[in-house]
Amino acid sequence: MALDNSGQTMNDSDLRFGLVGHGLWGTHHGRAIAGTDGAVLAAVAERSDEGRAAAAAAHPGADVYDDYRRMLDRDDIEAVDIVVPSHLHYEIAAAALDAGKHVLVEKPMVLTMDHCQKLIALAKQKGKVLAVDHEM
């Protein structure tokens, strides 16, 4: 066992998440990840200054980035939770899968069937889980 950046106990088997988007709904995802046994919120990527400040305050053990691409470069992040406006889902999910991460994306997965098929094919090619979050 090791300690994460906030000093909490972390097992080697814990799934390390990166969260993209810490707006209204992203804050709920951040709390859910941080409060789940076996999961660690390792990083948050958020474009707005206010969102980054809120993420840093809410998750002092997580690194906070202004660009999700910098977060995807980290080898220790295994899964990425995407909670941004729908028109950004495809770009970010494809980049995360390309970077070798499992992906959880808010609904809708993407906005076109073509993009759906491309993400599914990329997830299969990379051997990664692609899941869509439905809150109900």
Both tokens of 52, joined, read: 């980054």
Nearest alpha carbon to residue 81 among 120, 25, 11, 124: 25
Angle at which helices 89-98 and 113-126 cross, to 10°:
10
Tell me, yes or no, if 107 is annotated catalytic.
yes
Query: Exposed, middle or buried, 58 (CB in 10 Å: 0-12/13-18/19+)?
Result: middle
Active-site residue, selected from the candidate residues 101, 107, 124, 128: 107
Residues noted as catalytic: 107
